[in-house]
Structure 1
Amino acid sequence: MSDMKTHAREWVGLQSGNRFLFCSKGDGVAAQLGQAIGDLGMLTQEAPAVEDLAKRLAEIAPQVVFLDFTLSEDEPGKLFRSAELARLLARIAPGIPRVAVGLLSQPEGAIAALRAGVSDFVDPSVAPQEVKDVVQRLLDTPVAGGGRADGQRRSVLLLGTRPGVGTSTLAVHLAGLVQDRMKQAHALRAGASGAKPSKTAEAGAMQPLSSRVALLDLGWPVGDCQLYLNIGSDFDFAEAARNLRRLDPTLLGSAMAHTANGLSVLALPRDLGQMRDISQSDSLLVFERLRQHFGVVVADAGGFNNPDFVAGLARTSQQNWIVTDQSVGALVSLAGLLQELEQLHVDRRSLGLIVNRYDERYGMTAQQIAERFQLELVGTLPDRTLALMVCTNQGRLLHEEAERDVYVRAVHALAEKLSTEEHTPGGRASWLATWLPGVHRRMVVD
């Protein structure tokens, strides 16, 4: 087919807003699947590594994931790997429908898919119309459990160059201000629908999780975010990891510590020895489960000493902001952090820089620091140590006492960067930005 027709077909797919992911290395069955789907949407074919799966789901934002359960002599153990992938998808993204793609002449594939918990099985080689019918049915079915099927799972990871640069202080204020915005937006939507909010709903704690912020408190010392917010809970990160299958909106809404305004917090256990039995994959799944249910997740990893886990978070999160100040110690630590992340395959282009306690008189300007380390400058925060300490010592946030403070205005600018992501349909901007040769295969077939 001509290039013009190829682009026309792609445009129809983008306009429809539907995106499908086929986890497979096989070109033949992918071509048949793409032809069967037709103009229902855009099909992307790739075989993401297990550790990259959550990030690719966030970037592609598929409405349906297809899994390859065809037998292939070139891929021994293929059915086992597809079954494992199906089980992983059920854990990290239960709201996204899974469909097995196989051949009716190979009943082993259908049996393996059934045992892996995949209820829909299609054979595009003999029943292309059935593929279209299944996809249309899944698109017309509301997502169970209130999950977000559109891929708009906004998250920001805050990485401190070293303990004491103000990462946790920024995290609580950023999460609090974003929660204020989401509470107001929820109230406006409720008013537009004619609903009369109750007093408890006005407090924010009864809003649906999709209209609330989760703060993942992974900083050091343990529990500082909860301390600053004057809240606490026995339900911690280790407990969440041990109960992954039960992390639905009901459990998260009731078990996690939360402020009256609706900001929910999940912290590390006080006894860090409990984390020894928690695998890295389960830890990352806790983060993904929060992103699935909450409108925004702010993760404070300032001072967290597990580089592999932090790198996994950075590869998954929508935004990654490194917090530093202008001191020589912090800048030396910044260089070490960037080198460590690069060795763990975190793309420097995915990282932004925030300079805290900023004053040009201290030395290098924020822009000079950003250019020196080849980072995008996200913003600066003025030195308001006294005002911040007075408020946090009283269990209050600065914006609750002085909404016009210069520090609060600077954090508002950062909150705006997160809030604008809400207006990007289906996360399409990030998806298109990653449409690069060798990463996706364009499955547009006559």
Structure 2
Amino acid sequence: MSERNCFIAITHSHECLQWLGQSLRDEGDLIPADSPTTERVVQLADAIGASIIFVQLNPADYRQEALLIEGIIAAKPFLPVIVVADSFDQNLLLTVIRLGARDFIKSGSRASEVVAEVKRLIPREGSLPASHNDQNGKITSVISARPGSDSPMLALHLALAIQETEPTLLLDLGVPHGDAMLYLGLTSSYSFIDAIRSLRRIDSTLIQTGFGRHKSGLTVLSMPEDSWTGAQFTAADVCVLLRSLRRHFSRIVLNLGGMVDSDFLLLLLANVDQIVLLVEQSVPSCRQNMQLVKHLREEKVSLVNTGVVVDRYLSKMPPGAESIAQSFGLPLLSTLSSSGMARLATMNSGESMFELSANDPYSINVRKLAEKLLDGQAGPVEKAPGMLHKLISALIPAHDKS
């Protein structure tokens, strides 16, 4: 099997979902059920090929969960169900066993214990050998607290550089919407929202006919430029779509520039493999991005595979790039030159900087960054914050730090 395992979580607390997600991060994708009904859970399990379903019991009254477990097992007798609860007494254990659940785990158990149960229940031929991980599409996200042209510019050129090596999708969800498509001179009536609405029809034919396609072979899917505030979709819908897109592309570059303090951002970052934090050399940019990183850490978003890229960098002006990265507690991946005329030409011509200014320092450094990301060098460890962190923190009002 060349894909990651997929698990469904039916929980009534955010803490339980976070704990399961962190415990199973290396084992597969955890998708929260958007509706705790037997029909919807079975439908979701069929759509994603679920390996295990986790059901958290309500400590006060678990009759509803018991009926749900019974219905799932009746419909999918070979799909393991694991019950999660804060504690188990004799009566509860007997109830769980009689319902047909395969096992039970106490909430907050060590990750090693959760993984051990998962590996015990997944058939040997259904497990995922480590050597096959690279056969499942990897998602690299570009994030920045400041909306504008810099994030889509970096994301699209990263995607173009990676496309030269592997089939790549540029997923442009940043703010403002649709910039990457405009920079590449592309138009498409099919958007990310349309893909959400047609989850069951996502196949190679739809991708080839509906998604945007650049002459380099790069595939592009974007948010619609017009308002999409009325669009209705769930966390499970997004997870299923990303999992489906991973099957069709070796690499996905996800632009999330300008998105801050939203559940949608947290959901997307929970499903990526690498994060590139794009920061300018200025104090305002560092300040806003520091607040973003602080928020991500508070929400328990893993930043293990995260690195900093300093944009519009002037080596002779302080603060230095290493100092900026250290202030975020993250490794430095690259610096990018201003290249104002080359960027403007790209934005207005529909041609990439690789075509217009292949020898520009920006083009050269983006290609080097793409090589790092392909090698998995997005940042193995988090470093201690540096002196610039103290300076920026001093500029953040007290109510922002709470």
TM-score, scaled relative to structure 2 = 0.67
Asked if the contact 1:86/1:98 (under 8 Å) is kept, the reply is no
> Paired residue for 1:300?
255
Q: Relative to structure 1, is the Cα distance of residues 384 and 262 closer, same or farther in structure 2, using a 3 angstrom cutoff?
A: same
> Paired residue for 1:341?
296
- After superposition, residues 107-122 of structure 1 pair within 5 angstroms as 112-115=72-75, 117=76
SS at match of 2:358: coil
Structure 2 gap ranges (5+): 10-14, 31-35, 55-67, 82-99, 103-118, 382-402
> Paired residue for 1:154?
138
Report the Cα distance in structure 1 between the residues aligned to 2:43 and 2:17, rounded to whole angstroms: 11
Q: Relative to structure 1, is the Cα distance of residues 55 and 270 closer, same or farther in structure 2, using a 3 angstrom cutoff?
A: farther
Q: Does 1:172 align with 2:172?
A: no
Partner letter of residue 332 of structure 2? L
Report the Cα distance in structure 2 between the residues aligned to 1:349 and 1:112, rounded to whole angstroms: 36
Asked if the contact 2:261/2:295 (under 8 Å) is kept, the reply is no
Deviation at 1:57, TM superposition (A): 6.6
Deviation at 1:56, TM superposition (A): 6.9
Report the Cα distance in structure 1 between the residues aligned to 2:4 and 2:151, rounded to whole angstroms: 36
SS at match of 2:189: coil
Report the Cα distance in structure 2 between the residues aligned to 1:353 and 1:245, rounded to whole angstroms: 37
Partner letter of residue 148 of structure 2? G
TM-score, scaled relative to structure 1 = 0.61
Asked if the contact 1:155/1:298 (under 8 Å) is kept, the reply is yes
> Paired residue for 2:285?
330
Deviation at 1:287, TM superposition (A): 2.9
SS at match of 1:273: coil
What per-residue deviation string (whole Å, max 9, x for no partner) do you get for residues 79-136 of structure 1?
A: x799876654444x34x66699xxxxxxx97863352x565679999xxxxx99x946
- After superposition, residues 12-23 of structure 1 pair within 5 angstroms as none
What per-residue deviation string (whole Å, max 9, x for no partner) do you get for residues 255-295 of structure 1?
A: 11111222111111222235542334423433333223211
Q: Does 1:353 align with 2:320?
A: no
Asked if the contact 1:325/1:357 (under 8 Å) is kept, the reply is yes
- After superposition, residues 6-405 of structure 1 pair within 5 angstroms as 59-61=26-28, 87-91=43-47, 93-94=48-49, 112-115=72-75, 117=76, 135=123, 152-164=136-148, 166-182=150-166, 212-305=167-260, 307-405=262-360
What per-residue deviation string (whole Å, max 9, x for no partner) do you get for residues 352-404 of structure 1?
A: 21101111223201100111221121211112121121133211111123333
Structure 1 gap ranges (5+): 1-15, 25-47, 66-79, 101-107, 126-130, 141-147, 183-211, 423-429, 434-446
Report the Cα distance in structure 2 between the residues aligned to 1:261 and 1:269, rounded to whole angstroms: 22
Deviation at 1:159, TM superposition (A): 0.6
Return the structure number with greater relative CO, CA threshold 8 A, min gap 6: 1
Q: Relative to structure 1, is the Cα distance of residues 160 and 118 closer, same or farther in structure 2, using a 3 angstrom cutoff?
A: farther
Deviation at 1:309, TM superposition (A): 1.2
Asked if the contact 1:158/1:302 (under 8 Å) is kept, the reply is yes
Report the Cα distance in structure 2 between the residues aligned to 1:320 and 1:254, rounded to whole angstroms: 29
Deviation at 1:302, TM superposition (A): 0.7
Matched residues, percent identical?
27
Q: Relative to structure 1, is the Cα distance of residues 314 and 259 closer, same or farther in structure 2, using a 3 angstrom cutoff?
A: same
Report the Cα distance in structure 2 between the residues aligned to 1:19 and 1:219, rounded to whole angstroms: 27
What per-residue deviation string (whole Å, max 9, x for no partner) do you get for residues 194-237 of structure 1?
A: xxxxxxxxxxxxxxxxxx21111112221000001111111111
Report the Cα distance in structure 2 between the residues aligned to 1:302 and 1:365, rounded to whole angstroms: 23
Report the Cα distance in structure 2 between the residues aligned to 1:348 and 1:138, rounded to whole angstroms: 29
Q: Relative to structure 1, is the Cα distance of residues 260 and 342 closer, same or farther in structure 2, using a 3 angstrom cutoff?
A: same
SS at match of 2:164: helix
Report the Cα distance in structure 1 between the residues aligned to 2:123 and 2:177, rounded to whole angstroms: 46
Report the Cα distance in structure 1 between the residues aligned to 2:127 and 2:327, rounded to whole angstroms: 48
Partner letter of residue 73 of structure 2? A
SS at match of 1:304: coil
Report the Cα distance in structure 1 between the residues aligned to 2:101 and 2:232, rounded to whole angstroms: 43
| Count of residue correspondences | 325
> Paired residue for 2:399?
none
RMSD (Å), alpha carbons = 4.3
SS at match of 1:291: helix
What per-residue deviation string (whole Å, max 9, x for no partner) do you get for residues 57-97 of structure 1?
A: 763259xx9xxxxxxxxxxxxxx799876654444x34x66
Partner letter of residue 327 of structure 2? R
Asked if the contact 2:313/2:338 (under 8 Å) is kept, the reply is yes
Q: Relative to structure 1, is the Cα distance of residues 290 and 378 closer, same or farther in structure 2, using a 3 angstrom cutoff?
A: same
Report the Cα distance in structure 2 between the residues aligned to 1:265 and 1:57, rounded to whole angstroms: 30
Asked if the contact 1:153/1:295 (under 8 Å) is kept, the reply is yes
Asked if the contact 2:4/2:28 (under 8 Å) is kept, the reply is yes
Partner letter of residue 373 of structure 1? F
SS at match of 1:404: coil
Asked if the contact 1:55/1:317 (under 8 Å) is kept, the reply is no
Report the Cα distance in structure 2 between the residues aligned to 1:120 and 1:409, rounded to whole angstroms: 50
Runs of 4+ that moved beyond 4 A: 16-24, 48-58, 80-87, 96-100, 108-111, 117-125, 136-140, 148-151
What per-residue deviation string (whole Å, max 9, x for no partner) do you get for residues 142-162 of structure 1?
A: xxxxxx986632111111130
